[in-house]
A = this chain, B = another copy of it.
Amino acid sequence: MDEQHFTEPDAATDAFKQAFRRHAAGVAAVTALADGGRPVGFTATSVASLAAAPPLVTFNMARVSSAWPAMVVGNRVAIHTLGPRTRHLAVKLAADNAVRFEGDHWAPGPHGVPILAGVTSWMLGEIIEVHPVYENAVIVVRIEVGELGDEDEALLYHERAYQRPVAL
């Protein structure tokens, strides 16, 4: 029996988990409309800038997500930046997907895409690429429009808790 076959995958997963425990991430919320105009969305710690000209953003997601059916090239998504005062939105969009849009914390925006209330900003754009990788996917969005929202600090996720940034 070659023990390496059993230990190596664990070493890789351990390395990955250790590294991400040392890494802090900004918290965003992604929303879209799925088939039949059903609002879907989730809390994302993977939102990243890809380019400024044209303005391109990426995020990663699981293909088992309730929002996956909306991740189709040509469909629109909204990406909201959150702050400590909208931490409840991060909690709500990470909880049971059946009740994520129950309540008055959102309203339809451009193309009917749900825009969350009280966020520090939102930007909306067209999905231009979807790259499935194993059970997950990388989504590329070309930003078209957006709005600056309420003043607040940035919301972080680090060491399994919501945090905020301070100067060094």
Query: Would A16 and B123 be within 8 Å (CB), given that A23-B154, A48-B48 are in contact?
Result: yes
Tell whether, in the assembled complex, residue B145 and residue A54 are in contact, meaning their CB atoms are under 8 Å apart.
Answer: no
Interface of A is mostly: strand
Scan residues 49-90 of chain A and give those whose CB is less than 8 A from a CB of chain B.
49-60, 62, 79, 81, 83-84, 87
Inter-chain CA distance A47–B20, complex, in Å, is 10
> Shortest Cβ distance from A147 into chain B, in angstroms?
7
Inter-chain CA distance A42–B145, complex, in Å, is 30
Tell whether, in the assembled complex, residue A133 and residue B163 are in contact, meaning their CB atoms are under 8 Å apart.
Answer: no
17 contacts across the A-B interface (CB closer than 8 A): A12-B54, A12-B146, A13-B52, A18-B123, A22-B154, A24-B24, A45-B49, A50-B133, A50-B138, A56-B133, A56-B136, A128-B133, A156-B165, A161-B168, A162-B168, A163-B167, A165-B165
